[in-house]
Chains A and B, each alone.
Chain A
Amino acid sequence: MSRIRHAATWVAALLVLTAGRAASQGRWIGTGGLGYVEQRVDAGYGLEKFSGLALEFGVDGRLSSRLAITLRGLGGELQSADAADLDRRIGEAEALASYTLASVWGFYGGVTLRAISSDAGRQHWVVGRIGAEFRPAFSGGRLHAIGRIGLIPVAAIEGLSSAAITLDGAVGLEYERDRISVGLVYALEQYAFTAPGDIERAEQLSRLMLRGGLRL
């Protein structure tokens, strides 16, 4: 677990360092978003649902015509659907890099550090993801469809075994005009762990984010 966290820290540091290039070229986009986040957990005791609004802030930087990075932070409070369960709080720091191979598609990869806490305790997550991203443009070139399909080969949660390799996906739309951008993205991750005592634990995190961006 600590090795994964070290690797994630290194990746994040590398992205932050390379971001200096984007800053020097004035290609930063500051982003802010409001989203609806839903977490579903079945730890062998039945389905638990938590949902709520989350705020997100971040920056997108273009290092070259092909390479772009994204640094984001998200925080929100998730209410339990069952009054008997404790509400949760979620916090994330994410570093993503994408490399465009053609005008409509490329690869992405990144690391997410996540903390989910309740009054009873806190879980630390380290998630690594990789996949392909599609950005076909609508006519006019200002509106793009966003499709992302990938894998989560690394998902480590404190106190749990590593998750099996699972699916990472997102679908949405993004509109850009001059210095302003607006996006609506639906993203989904699901995990399957083996908890102590060979109990199967399934988790699913989905979110619908409405993002706005301003080119700096």
Chain B
Amino acid sequence: MRRVVLVVLCVSALSVPASAQDTTAATLRRARDLYEQLELERALPLLRQIISPGWSYEVTAAQRVEANLYLGAALVLLGATDSAVTHFRAALERDPFTDLDPAQFTPTQVDAFRTARRAVFRIGVRPVAATRLDPRTERISFTVVATHAASARCEIRAIAPALAFPLFVGAIDGMREIEWDGVLANGQLAPSGRYAVVLLAQSRVHAGGGTDSASAYFDVQQEFPALEDTLPDLQSPELLPERYEKSAGTTDLLKGLGVAAGAFLLSEIGTNRGLGESRGMATVVATAGVAVGVGSFFTRRGSSRPENVAANERRRAERAATNQQIRQRNAERLAQTILVIRPAAGAAP
């Protein structure tokens, strides 16, 4: 028995907010039913209760707008047009997207609503819907509204780095769709980050008055296949020496002299003394060795090595060509970038 009581208490505690909502929703539904049955005198108190400060239950913005809308509609039918317009204005001030469907309401009610729209100046931007945008073929649509004719400027603002560019400049009256292809004013695809679509407007009906602004934030995330890294520039250990070392000439001279010495040594110790001396061939090779050594000594000390310069140029060109191909492939991948757009609450992080 005690367990049952505990469960009932828990369920009751959990259901309190839902009951409050339900109470407002139920009252609004009942008022709407009474309105539909033209029992206006009974509907009005219920609707007034919902918007009164004394209503102890939670009321959402949409419920408050709907209550004002039905109050206005009911009052028009009861001949209290001025009061009706006041309630329509209250609804519009809270939500400029509010509208009356001519198929459901009488022309008198629609006229009163139009009067309210002319009297109040409010603009709005509908929250951005999550979507995946292919910038090559698709557009994202922002819905904006002004309660009556206005000069408007709708722009995209990036939070970081800060930049802004207009999407639309002109007159709007009522609701309007403004499209964006995901490209910035400089032609670049919008980088990942937080953005806002901002609407600034000035009433064309209220002379010298009525300015308003509205905005909706959204996040953009670029999505593309993984990119390749380009190869780093060739470093010295990977390149051939482009100049001979200063000691190269001396070393070559010693090698040339070594050849000469070796030739004479061979002709001395390798020959049979009994067969006579023979230095002619050794002299030829020794001369060649000395010539090479001396020539190298004078021409190669610190001089450039054209064959290595050419080989290095070839390697650099090959590296550059490879990197160009990588950049080309990366560009092709970036060209397939998809923008993932998600609504964001509030301002920049």
| Chain A positions near chain B (C-beta within 8 angstroms) | 36, 38, 40-42, 47, 49, 136, 138-140, 143, 145, 147, 167, 169-173, 184-186, 188, 190, 192, 202, 204, 206-208
Q: Is the CB of A173 within 8 A of B284?
A: no
Main secondary structure of the interface of A (DSSP, over half): strand
How far, in whole Å, are A41 and B276 apart by their CA atoms in the complex?
10
B 242-268 contacts with A by CB, 8 A: 244-245, 248-249, 251-252, 255-256, 258-259, 262-263, 266-267
Given known pairs A145-B255, A184-B288, A208-B284, the reply for A190 and B278 (CB within 8 Å) is: no
Closest A residue to B300 by CB, please name it.
A139
User: Smallest CB–CB gap between B218 and chain A, Å?
Assistant: 64
How far, in whole Å, are A138 and B173 apart by their CA atoms in the complex?
89
Contact among B244, B255, B272 with A204 in the assembled complex (CB-CB below 8 Å): B272
User: Smallest CB–CB gap between B291 and chain A, Å?
Assistant: 10
Given known pairs A145-B255, A186-B281, A188-B270, the reply for A173 and B276 (CB within 8 Å) is: no
Given known pairs A138-B252, A173-B259, the reply for A167 and B270 (CB within 8 Å) is: yes
Encode B301-329 as 1/0 by CB contact (under 8 A) with A.
Answer: 00001010000000000000000000000
The 9 closest A-B pairs by CB, nearest first: A139-B248, A208-B281, A40-B275, A171-B262, A186-B285, A171-B263, A188-B270, A169-B266, A186-B281
Q: Is B344 an interface residue (CB 8 A)?
A: no
Q: Is B269 an interface residue (CB 8 A)?
A: yes
Closest B residue to A146 by CB, please name it.
B259
> 30 A-B Cβ contacts within 8 A?
A40-B275, A40-B276, A42-B275, A47-B276, A138-B292, A139-B251, A139-B300, A140-B244, A140-B300, A140-B307, A145-B255, A147-B259, A147-B262, A167-B270, A171-B259, A171-B266, A171-B285, A171-B289, A172-B259, A172-B285, A173-B289, A186-B263, A190-B270, A190-B272, A202-B272, A202-B274, A204-B278, A207-B281, A208-B284, A208-B285
Write out the residue numbers on chain A whose beta carbons fall within 8 Å of the beta carbon of B278.
Answer: 38, 40, 204, 206
Closest B residue to A167 by CB, please name it.
B270
Q: Is the CB of B266 within 8 A of A188?
A: yes
User: Smallest CB–CB gap between B205 and chain A, Å?
Assistant: 89
Write out the residue numbers on chain B whose beta carbons fall within 8 Å of the beta carbon of A140.
Answer: 244, 300, 305, 307
Q: Is the CB of A145 within 8 A of B281?
A: no
Q: Is B296 an interface residue (CB 8 A)?
A: yes
User: Smallest CB–CB gap between A121 and chain B, Å?
Assistant: 22
How far, in whole Å, are A40 and B281 apart by their CA atoms in the complex?
14
Q: Is B43 an interface residue (CB 8 A)?
A: no
Write out the residue numbers on chain B whose beta carbons fall within 8 Å of the beta carbon of A188.
Answer: 266-267, 270-271
Write out the residue numbers on chain A whose beta carbons fall within 8 Å of the beta carbon of B275.
Answer: 40-42, 47, 190, 202, 204
Write out the residue numbers on chain B whose beta carbons fall within 8 Å of the beta carbon of A170.
Answer: 266
Write out the residue numbers on chain A whose beta carbons fall within 8 Å of the beta carbon of B255.
Answer: 136, 138, 145
How far, in whole Å, are A117 and B38 apart by their CA atoms in the complex?
142
Given known pairs A167-B269, A186-B266, A206-B281, the reply for A173 and B274 (CB within 8 Å) is: no
How far, in whole Å, are A198 and B14 apart by their CA atoms in the complex?
131
User: Smallest CB–CB gap between A46 and chain B, Å?
Assistant: 11
Closest B residue to A209 by CB, please name it.
B281
Q: Is B123 an interface residue (CB 8 A)?
A: no
Q: Is the CB of B281 within 8 A of A36?
A: yes
Q: Is B67 an interface residue (CB 8 A)?
A: no
How far, in whole Å, are A58 and B296 apart by their CA atoms in the complex?
30
B 194-252 contacts with A by CB, 8 A: 244-245, 248-249, 251-252
Q: Is B282 an interface residue (CB 8 A)?
A: yes
Closest A residue to B282 by CB, please name it.
A186
Write out the residue numbers on chain A whose beta carbons fall within 8 Å of the beta carbon of B305.
Answer: 140
Contact among B248, B285, B307 with A184 in the assembled complex (CB-CB below 8 Å): B285
How far, in whole Å, are A185 and B285 apart by their CA atoms in the complex?
7
How far, in whole Å, are A206 and B263 apart by their CA atoms in the complex?
12
Write out the residue numbers on chain A whose beta carbons fall within 8 Å of the beta carbon of B266.
Answer: 169-171, 186, 188
Write out the residue numbers on chain B whose beta carbons fall within 8 Å of the beta carbon of A208.
Answer: 281, 284-285
Closest A residue to B253 by CB, please name it.
A138
How far, in whole Å, are A139 and B250 apart by their CA atoms in the complex?
10
How far, in whole Å, are A170 and B288 apart by their CA atoms in the complex?
14
User: Smallest CB–CB gap between A44 and chain B, Å?
Assistant: 11
Which among A49, A140, A170, A185 has the highest number of chain B CB atoms within 10 Å? A140
How far, in whole Å, are A140 and B296 apart by their CA atoms in the complex?
10
Q: Is the CB of A204 within 8 A of B271?
A: yes
How far, in whole Å, are A34 and B257 apart by their CA atoms in the complex?
25
Q: Is the CB of A192 within 8 A of B285?
A: no
Q: Is the CB of A186 within 8 A of B284?
A: yes
Q: Is the CB of A184 within 8 A of B284?
A: yes
